A and B are shown apart, each in its own frame.
Chain A
Amino acid sequence: MDITTESKLKPTTPIPAQAGIGLRAEHYKEVITTRPNIGWLEVHSENYFGQGGKPLYYLELARQNYPVSLHGVGLSIGSSDPLNKTHLDHLNRLIQRIEPGLVSEHLSWSSIDGKYFNDLLPLPYTEEALKHFSDRVHQVQNILQRQILIENPSSYLSYSHSTIAEWDFMNAIVERTDCGILLDVNNVYVSAINHGFDAHHYLQAIDADAVQEIHLAGFTTDTIEGQDILIDTHNKPISDEVWALYKAAIKRLGALPSLIEWDSDLPPLEFLLEEASRAQTIMDERHALVA
């Protein structure tokens, strides 16, 4: 097996309106040898910022059989620091190499004054932050020469000077930048519980034409000062409440690329595929209803 032979990349392949799973290192070999029946794969962009070795080797092999979406966690679009050009260069290099169907990032910030926290920190929803975030999405899209999707985050605090609801903030970014939305239904649920808003209202209010991808994941419930707070841990099965919300989202939005996200305490691949097949069934039933 010679890793230096040129890999046979397919040209950019769109992500189908089907269920997909996150590809993680623990499942590389199984996904490549068993070629599970799944519409597409998503990876964290930063895990492939190295210039060679195993991660890219396996991603390129997987890419020969599946459309791939690149999901970023470290671009820190919401930071008031200048955009990190090195990070963008690495992302651009990866995009050229993998030719992903979708590229996404988060409505959040993760660095300031050159220090990184490698976490999705919440933004205040103010006019200043909206202008700043939109300008930066615009810059990123110009540099990458493509549209990106912005994902709604889970959050555990809010700011008393926020003046805009998160769904309106997301819609306004779309209006100003022509970016797309990655609607994380689990994050909608987690934030709705944590901040006391109506998750169904969020789904109704979000710009339906802009949503191009959905994320589904599991959360953990912590108790702090006698109060429950939901934490977006990506280490559990999707909850019944989130499945119900997903059903409502698909009813309104139609079938969309829907990802089962699982990042720690990974279950066997088979379990992820079962979760994906549950999402696929919900989309198929909706389609049957309309047809």
Chain B
Amino acid sequence: MPSLHELQSAFADALLNPDTTRTLSYVAQDKISRDQRLFIYRNHVFSSLTSALQEAYPTIERLVGEAFFRSAARAYIRQHPSTSGDLEQYGDRFADYLDSLKQVDEHAYLPDVARLEWAYHRVYFAADAPALSTESLAKVDPSQQHRLCFGLHPASQLLQSPYPSLRIWQVNQKAYCGDQTVDLSTGGNYLLVLRPQLDPEIHHINHDEYIFLHALSCDKNIADSHDLATNINPEFDLTSCLQKFISNKTLVTFSLEA
């Protein structure tokens, strides 16, 4: 008689690997064989994990087609089984997995479109936050302002890509009915995925804005973040940049660096 742990390990092995040599001799069989009975569970596991990937990556599915998506999902599920009882966590490494596939070499933009979809997915469920109090910010002693640090909205993500990933995403939305062509030679983009209220928004941002927000998100103070942005663009306008990202709720907290 197997211990509970032995049984569960062998069962798990049989679920993920249909060719497994371990037979679960203690699964009862009658007119329906034990392999067929296990198949019901295997089928259910793969179909619910595949649905979770389809929900998180609808644009990728549209780009590669359902058949390719399903077979990629099957392989991904074997390589990267779920690690949480919460299905919404599933699929965080799908972009890297797509990156590793030789078949997608001609569509090298796919992993970055997947990264955009995952950022959107995460932002959808992330915490709410009130807007930053500009009144309190105005009270900071001007001599101390260089020590300011800003916190980004918990429902925000920064992305960069050498491909026009947002344009690819946009023309592949169900509701989109404009010109479908994407000119890859238009180059890359810097993106901010943000959920100021209930619906995620995706914004194009400039390279200097990306560098500035990224530095702030890594806990650099405003002076150091400003320097990094100025390296990219000597004309970088700190005041208007701060106003823009405070008013659209990208920056929602501040503190003074110790």
Contact = CB atoms under 8 A, between A and B. Distances in A.
B8 interface: yes
A124 B4 contact: yes
Given A112-B8, A129-B4, A231-B40, A225 B31 contact: yes
A50 B44 CA distance: 24
Nearest to A222: B40
Contacts of A52: 125-129, 154-155
Contacts of A116: 81-85
A118 B128 contact: no
A265 interface: no
B90 A118 contact: yes
A87 B152 CA distance: 26
A109 interface: yes
Interface string B29-64: 001111011101100110011001000000000000
Contacts of A115: 12, 16, 81-83
B12 to A, nearest CB: 5
Contacts of A73: 85
Interface in A214-239: 222, 224-227, 229, 231
Contact of A53 (B1, B45, B130, B198): B198
A21 B5 CA distance: 36
Interface string A104-128: 0000011111111111010110101
Given A51-B127, A53-B125, A224-B32, A110 B85 contact: yes
A123 B9 CA distance: 13
A134 to B, nearest CB: 13
A170 to B, nearest CB: 18
A237 to B, nearest CB: 21
B86 A87 contact: yes
A7 B86 CA distance: 25
Contacts of B82: 115-118
Contact of B45 (A79, A80, A117, A225): A117
B33 A157 contact: no
A86 B89 CA distance: 12
Interface in A133-169: 156-161
A262 B136 CA distance: 49
Given A76-B85, A224-B32, A51 B126 contact: yes
Interface of A: 1-4, 46-47, 49-55, 57, 72-76, 79-80, 84, 86-87, 90, 109-119, 121, 123-124, 126, 128-129, 132, 156-161, 222, 224-227, 229, 231
14 contacts: A46-B87, A46-B88, A90-B86, A112-B8, A113-B12, A115-B16, A115-B81, A116-B81, A116-B85, A117-B41, A119-B44, A124-B7, A129-B4, A158-B27
